[in-house]
Chain A
Amino acid sequence: MKIKTGERFGYLIQILILVLLSTAMLHGQGRGTIRGLVTDSTNGEPLAFCNAVINELGAGASTDQHGLYIIASVPAGKHYTLTISYVGYQTKIIRFTVNRNSIKEIDVSLVPVGIKIGAVETVGKKTIEKNATDIGLQRISLKDIEMTPKGVESDVFRSLQYLPGVRSTGDVSARYYVRGSSSNENLVTLNGITIYNPFHAFGMFSVIDPDMINSVEFYKGGFTAEEGDRLSSVMNIITKDGNKNNYDGSVTTSFLTAKTLIEGPIPYGSFIVTGRKSYSTAILKKFLNDQSAPINFYDLSFKLNYDNPNFIKGSKFIITSFISGDELNNNSPYIENMNWSNKILGLDWFQLTDSPLYYELGVSWSSFSGNVDPKLSSAKPRNNQLDDITLKMDFNYIFESKDEFSLGAEIKNLNTTLFLENSFGVVSNLGGQGTNISVYGKYKFMRYNNFGADVGVRVVAASLTSSDSNPFFLQPRVNLTYRVFPAVALKASWGIYEQEVTTLSDENEVISLFEPWAIIPSYLKPAGSIQYSAGVTTDFTQDISLDIQGYYKTMQNIPTLNDYKIVSTDPDLISATGESYGWEFLFRLNKNPVAFTASYTLSWAYKDVNGWLYYPRYDSRNSVDLTLGYNFGNGWQASAVWIYSTGLPFTQSLGFYNKLYFGDLYSAWPIYENYLPFQVLSDKDLGRLPDYHRLDLSLSKSFNISSVKFQFDASIINVYNRANIFYFKRDTGERVNMLPFLPTATLKIEL
């Protein structure tokens, strides 16, 4: 651990706080603040991203992932009406007054719209947040996830792939690539805790069971100073708190898994437990070119929250635990076994105070373990263990002017062990230990209704890596929004980002089972990225919007697996650079009973390794996603999704040569005839696979029998059986396609 800039930055922060606090104090006198939690009336679950608007002022805010809204700078002594609305819930209007220099607490429970009256009930509308600095941010609700055809399982990662700027490289994988960056540059957190390998079953599904999700925030870029550790994207998943009113449970089964959920109240809180286990892998053959894989996986989550006002007023304590595991055990001693697992445990303390200050303290442990036991096979033995202990603190202060100031710190201790053998038989030990200390401060100018700015800086005071220098230790970030007309907002962001951990991912693997994590070794500098994005958001009506965004980013010091590590002294990783840019268009229409989304992405991505410039495997020039949902009422819903993307890059062949193969050399002298064809490759990724397109349909029906709720979903993947090529086998020229026409169904029973 190296303390580099801590002291001088400490002084800087102190001065900044004093200046900003004094300025803001002077600005907003004679005003008050309202704040509160918005919850679901049936189960007390916090409702993230709902709208809270003071009608008389036209001012409002969205609830955050805790369900908390805060509206500052409300002129005191007057009567107002507060409208709380959310899609799928009955809008609630509350009258209130606020006193000068005080905070009024207004907690609201919203009543969900009954499934049988979905088509006619008045439900919450989208509210235009005039000055929200949210370029690059996508908020994904459980309803969005459910809207996408389930295939085998609903999956939050797969639903991401319909967003502009987000790509996958095949039906088989839930791995995603954001704006021309590699998949290991995406951060996934569960209740604020990093999950290092968030995939089940060869990366086909995420480890996050959608039933446990309350809300998802996904930054495609432009994430502000409180987010760190990754270059490309951040996905924050907040799980449900559990039913605060009643004990509840559900059982769901699909062709692949059976899962259960149990939730209920405890004194001053609630709990939720979810569990999922695979029971049959027959369906996976469709994903694996008809190859069987004896894979078993499970995940188990637990969350308990406690908010006793008699203990500490305004506090909420959350304990989160999550375990996932995958095992691939072959009976034959000549085929290797594998296992990988995640374990996380965290304690979070969220505290509202009597002043407009709220803060959050968290301590967590996240562990990833992956092993390949070759037994008597020719597979390479591999072993990776990672332990991450993180302490986080965030302080937020909202001024009467509506400006916000945030300050936080993160101390992350990482310990990794990694042993592996590459294809040339060279054994590497890439384990390491380090501590990262990062602090951030940011100021959100929200005082003007048509202008918002989020200006912050993240500073790496101590690096995980033992590299001599960290060119990205100072990471300024700016997000701006200017609403030129009531319906049109211009948005822009600029920022510097840094990453100190990496996976040893082999870009040549289209199906990869083992992606070990390591701290970037000392002979490389931490990876960094400079990103620009700008766009325009047009809200034609409350129901129709169009987002257009352009982005440009450069990436430096990207650790890349050294394909030519021949001897042990060769480096395991070499440094690469990257560049990507593009345009994204997103059109949304949400007019009950129709929900329609159309997105188009035009993008370019490049990577430069040792002077060789090429298109990485996830570079797709044009992508189109069309999603149509229709609510027929009476519990019937249908959706159709059509995806199109131009072909992904691949390395063309120059032909074959006959390569000498031999084993132990005791056998008959092999030099004459022991030759097999071996591919001679052309320049990397200069070819393009044929275009990809696919239509998926789904139909769902919710109904009650007595007090038991049922939900039946039927989906058809690849309705017109498009033969989308996945890859072609080099040795035989055989074409391997992605998912064929595939009907599936799931049944969920809620008790």
Chain B
Amino acid sequence: MKKILIIIVTIFSILFLDSCSNTLNPYAPFRQRFVLSGIIRSDTSYQVITISKSYQPANYNPSTDTENVAVLGVEVNMWCNDTLYALRDTSIPRTDTSKYKSNVSFYYCNNFRPPANSYIEIQALLPNGLLLSSTTTTPDAGFGFFDIASNNTFDPAVNSQIYMGWKDLGNVYYVPRISIVYYQKGDTTAKEFLVPLSYINQNNSLSPNYPQPTKINFFTIDQSTLDEAMREISGNDPNKKDFTISKMIVYIIVYDENLSTYYSSLQHSINDYTVILDAGDYSNISGGFGIFGSYYKASWRIDLSRLYINSFGYN
């Protein structure tokens, strides 16, 4: 028995003392990749595209790599309805210089405001001869609001909530934004107070729950939420009469399908505990990474009944 024990202990000791390498090199040999990013907006004629390259920081921590990754000297062209829009390069000072100190470089044009439902194509010819290309179709502007509030006016005597819906455009994201436009005495500038969808009671404190990008094509706001928002406009200011409420405005931004898929892929969090190692990446750029998408923005007006406004002491 003693011999057996000695043999066993010896085996354990040899394996125990074996010092295995515990270092890890996460990198495969570097291969340069290029990235085109651009979101075409329907509410401006100033369009911006960035082009950058991939990098491999020496210590695996990308936040420590400070070399500017913008790619200059790229020939960037966009086409929409057979019209060519050539983008020029420029740079501006960076607001956040914590990582990169140099200016932000990008490509732009200031004469292109795409109509809804437009097919747009982009091509970027890099100095090394690589071509990045993609397409997008701006969302259909034909989606219509409807509002069950009578005459587009919220009146608590008639409605207990604001309900708004719009045409379902398929598998895309909508981003609602609701604001109350008001003026303060002595100031002719219109101000906007953002109305949340609801308030969350957390430890006896109310936290606003603002709309997030969603695939649901409607929203509701209860009167209690609207009441709280109305009260917050003046806050602790006792002079309620100094506030004049003008109207509510509802904006909806609609992402096109590319942008919707891309946005969804940014929401990595399956949940707070799941750990995903190789997160999926979405790109619609041929020849590289990045996104070329577009969005459409529309707005709608809702009035608040005078009686309701006055009930808070406002004009």
Q: Residues on A close to B: CB < 8 A?
A: 202, 288, 291, 293, 328, 330, 332-333, 335-336, 338, 372, 374, 376-380, 423-427, 506, 508-514, 563-564, 566-568, 589, 591, 594, 596, 598, 624, 626, 628, 640, 642, 644, 650-666, 669, 671-673, 675, 677-684, 686-687, 689-691, 693, 695, 720, 722-723, 725, 727-728, 730-733, 735
Contact = CB atoms under 8 A, between A and B. Distances in A.
Interface in B184-239: 200, 202, 207, 209, 211-213, 215
A566 B263 CA distance: 12
B20 to A, nearest CB: 4
A435 to B, nearest CB: 32
A424 B261 CA distance: 5
Contacts of A328: 273
A514 B279 contact: no
B57 A336 contact: no
A700 to B, nearest CB: 20
Given A566-B282, A657-B289, A690-B21, A379 B55 contact: no
A654 B277 contact: no
Contacts of A666: 175, 177, 251, 253
Contact of A655 (B54, B94, B104, B251): B54
Interface in B1-51: 1, 4-5, 8, 11-12, 15-16, 20-28, 30-31, 33, 35, 37-39, 48, 50
B56 A506 contact: no
A727 B94 CA distance: 34
A372 B271 contact: yes
Contacts of B39: 660, 662, 665, 671
Contacts of A733: 26, 57, 59-62
Nearest to A420: B270
A660 B56 contact: no
The 10 closest A-B pairs by CB, nearest first: A425-B264, A733-B60, A677-B62, A655-B56, A682-B28, A652-B28, A657-B54, A511-B275, A660-B37, A508-B278
A568 B27 contact: no
B157 interface: no
Given A424-B280, A567-B171, A666-B175, A654 B264 contact: no
Nearest to A677: B62
A563 B24 contact: no
Contacts of A380: 267, 270-271
Contacts of A566: 261, 282
Contacts of B278: 508, 651, 681, 684
Q: Which of A506, A510, A624, A671 has most chain B Cβ within 10 Å?
A: A671
B12 to A, nearest CB: 6
Contacts of B26: 650, 652-653, 687, 728, 733
A690 B22 contact: yes
Q: Which of B23, B37, B62 has most chain A Cβ within 10 Å?
A: B62
Nearest to A596: B8
Nearest to A682: B28
B95 A673 contact: yes
What is the predominant secondary structure among interface residues of chain A facing chain B?
Answer: loop
A664 B273 contact: no
Contact of A673 (B20, B28, B104): B104
B56 A379 contact: no
Contacts of B38: 671
A427 B12 CA distance: 53
Given A508-B277, A680-B33, A654 B24 contact: no
B175 A686 contact: no
Contacts of A665: 39, 175, 253, 255, 295
B96 interface: yes
Nearest to B269: A378
Given A665-B295, A671-B48, A687-B25, 16 more contacts: A377-B271, A423-B268, A423-B280, A425-B171, A508-B280, A510-B276, A642-B16, A653-B60, A655-B30, A657-B33, A658-B52, A662-B263, A672-B106, A678-B281, A680-B33, A722-B22
A720 B253 CA distance: 57
Contacts of A508: 276-280
A727 B277 contact: yes
19 contacts: A202-B273, A333-B207, A377-B271, A379-B271, A380-B270, A423-B280, A425-B264, A425-B267, A513-B273, A594-B8, A642-B12, A650-B277, A654-B54, A666-B253, A671-B38, A672-B104, A673-B94, A733-B61, A735-B24
A200 to B, nearest CB: 14
A657 to B, nearest CB: 4
Chain B interface size band reads 35 or more
A568 B260 CA distance: 13
Contacts of B264: 423-426
Contact of A379 (B202, B272, B281): B272
A725 B21 CA distance: 12
Contact of A626 (B11, B27, B269): B11
Nearest to A567: B171
A423 B27 contact: no
A653 B52 contact: no
Contacts of B266: 661-662
Contacts of A513: 271, 273-274
A564 B275 contact: no
A664 B175 contact: yes
A672 B46 CA distance: 13
B213 A720 contact: no
Nearest to A720: B16
Contacts of A686: 28
A732 B94 contact: no
A514 B271 contact: yes
A377 B20 contact: no
B23 A654 contact: no
A722 B18 CA distance: 12
A419 to B, nearest CB: 14
A255 B31 CA distance: 49
Contacts of A589: 4
A731 B279 CA distance: 11
Contacts of A202: 273
B124 interface: no
B271 A730 contact: no
B173 interface: yes
A653 B28 contact: yes
Contacts of B268: 423
A624 B57 CA distance: 36
Q: Which of B11, B20, B31 has most chain A Cβ within 10 Å?
A: B20
B22 A377 contact: no
Contact of A642 (B15, B177, B289): B15
A338 B271 CA distance: 9
A640 B5 CA distance: 13
A513 B272 CA distance: 10
A654 B56 contact: yes
A664 B277 contact: no
Interface string B254-266: 0101001101111
A693 B92 contact: no
A677 B55 CA distance: 10
A678 B177 CA distance: 29
A336 B272 contact: yes
Contact of B279 (A695, A722, A730): A730
Contacts of B16: 642, 695, 720
Q: Which of B15, B21, B277, B282 has most chain A Cβ within 10 Å?
A: B277
Q: Which of A332, A377, A640, A664 has most chain B Cβ within 10 Å?
A: A664
A512 B274 contact: yes
A273 B295 CA distance: 61
Given A657-B289, A673-B95, A733-B60, A687 B28 contact: yes
Contacts of B281: 678, 681
